[in-house]
Every structure is written in structure tokens, then in C-alpha cells.
Structure 1
């Protein structure tokens, strides 16, 4: 009977106990792994699956039509040599891939006509305008200015 008890799980009431490390709760290492074992199995499983927190402790941004359009537009701008951060190194220009993303957004504009909210339509229209102007600027000058 004792062998069966060892294979099972043990429930301990820890409500009256003080935490062993109150100042080192955010540290990573042996103390953090010990803390993870003290959590209920459902909380540990959801944390491992990333359900409760995003990367680096930030809540994940919900995917909406507007965030999807913004993501594609940002990718196209980067392919046209735009840097998101002034300290970032120069990016290689790939106009054919940028044009492909612009064409995808244009297709989305056609296929979603009449089915978008005014905000979604505005994001899509403004993004397409900015991308097309940047693309024309790059292709009409014959080189990719920075």
C-alpha cells in the first residue's frame, strides 16, 4: 500500500505558510524551478502553454484584421528598406517581395469590400496608399534611396 501512495500525488495545505523567498520570486534558477513545482498542475500547464502570459511578460496582442494589415504593411516597408529603429542596421531591399505583399493587400481590399468596419477600411486604404507611394518612389528613381 505504501508503494501506491508514493506513485500518487500528495495534497498539502500551504495557506498558513510563509513563502521561503519573497524577494527572489522573479529570479530564474533553482528557486524558480522549485516555485514552479509548488504551483497547482493546471496553473503550471497553462503557463507552459503560454496561455496566461505572452513573450517577456507582455500580454499577447490579439490578432484582428487591422493588426494583420499593419503586420503585412510593416513587412513590406522593411522589404523596401525602411528601418523600424534608427539604430537598426540597414536592411536589404527586395522590391519583388514588397510588391507581392502590396498585391496581397490589394486583393484583400477587393475581396473584403463592403464587409469591413470603417476603421478597418481606413487602416487598409491608408496602408495601401503609403506602400504604393513608397514603391513608386523607389522604382521611379532607379535605385533604392535611404
Structure 2
């Protein structure tokens, strides 16, 4: 037994074959395969081109999503999304919680972005819900 080569475990799925055994699982990838991955996801390839995620960009992303859910088009050629006020309010509430939980821990610029985004979202939401 000491000279046996360890190959790992084999999984045999007999559910769909009526009890007939299936071929053993392929061996784990070799070291050379680990050095040269066959496919790099596009989001990893574009990582260098995209700006880094900051608190302000996170707030703007959430705010943009809420605006889109309230029927705003962020670009003129963009197709309209159906209005979903409950989901838009959920994002506004999430940003409100974020404002409360980060109080005293943000730079003045980050505070301003969050405060201004919340103001704009709340005003848009109120105007849509009151019909003004």
C-alpha cells in the first residue's frame, strides 16, 4: 500500500443510469493548467480599465438604480424600465441606514455625496407618490 499512487476519490452517480456505473471523474488539473488558466472572466480582464470602487461610486450606483426604478432614463437611448416604487424606496431606505451607520466616519466629500443623493431620491419619490 505504501507504493500506491494516491488519485483522490471517485464519484459515481447512479441516479439516472439505473444502477450502471459511470466513468470515473477526470483527474485533477495538472500544475501547468493552474499556471495558465484556460479562461479569464471578462470582468477580471476589464478590472484594470475600470476606476476603483469608492464609497462615492457605491452611493452613486445605488442612487442610479433607485432612479431607474422610479422611471428615470440615465441615458436618452436607454430603454425605459417599469416603475417599481417599493423597490426604489428599499434602496432609499438602505442609503438612509448607511448614512446613519457611517455618521462621523465619512470624509466631507463622501458625506456630501450621500446627503445630496438621498435628498434627490427622496424628492423624486415624494413627487411620484403624491402626484405632484
Paired with 1:132 and 1:109, the residues of 2 have a C-alpha distance of 14
Deviation at 1:74, TM superposition (A): 0.4
Structure 2 counterpart of 1:53: 45
Q: Where does the alignment leave 5 or more consecutive residues of structure 2 unmatched?
A: 1-32
Does the 8 A contact of 1:53 with 1:60 survive in 2? no
TM-score (normalised: structure 2): 0.66
Corresponding residue number in structure 1 for 2:88: 98
Q: How does 1:61-72 map to 2 (within 5 A)?
A: 61-72=51-62
Say if 1:81 and 1:52 are closer, same or farther in 2 by CA, change over 3 A. Answer: closer
Query: SS in structure 2 opposite 1:54?
Result: helix
1:134–1:52 Cα change, 3 Å: closer
Match of 1:135 in 2: 125
- Partner of 2:45, secondary structure, is coil
**Residues 79, 97 of structure 1: 8 Å contact kept:** yes
- The one-character-per-residue Cα deviations of 1:28-85 (angstroms, maximum 9, x if unpaired) are xxxxxxxxxxxxx99965x825687307xx7122111111101100000000000111
Aligned length: 100
Q: Does 1:123 align with 2:119?
A: no
1:85 match: secondary structure: coil
Partners of 1:133 and 1:141 lie apart in 2 by: 12
Q: Determine which structure has the larger helix proportion and give its number.
A: 1
Work out the CA distance in 2 between the residues paired with 1:134 and 1:122: 18
Scaled by the length of structure 1, the TM-score of the pair is: 0.60
Q: Give the aligned CA root-mean-square deviation in angstroms.
A: 2.6
Are 1:89 and 2:84 matched, yes or no? no
Unaligned segments of structure 1, at least 5 residues: 1-40
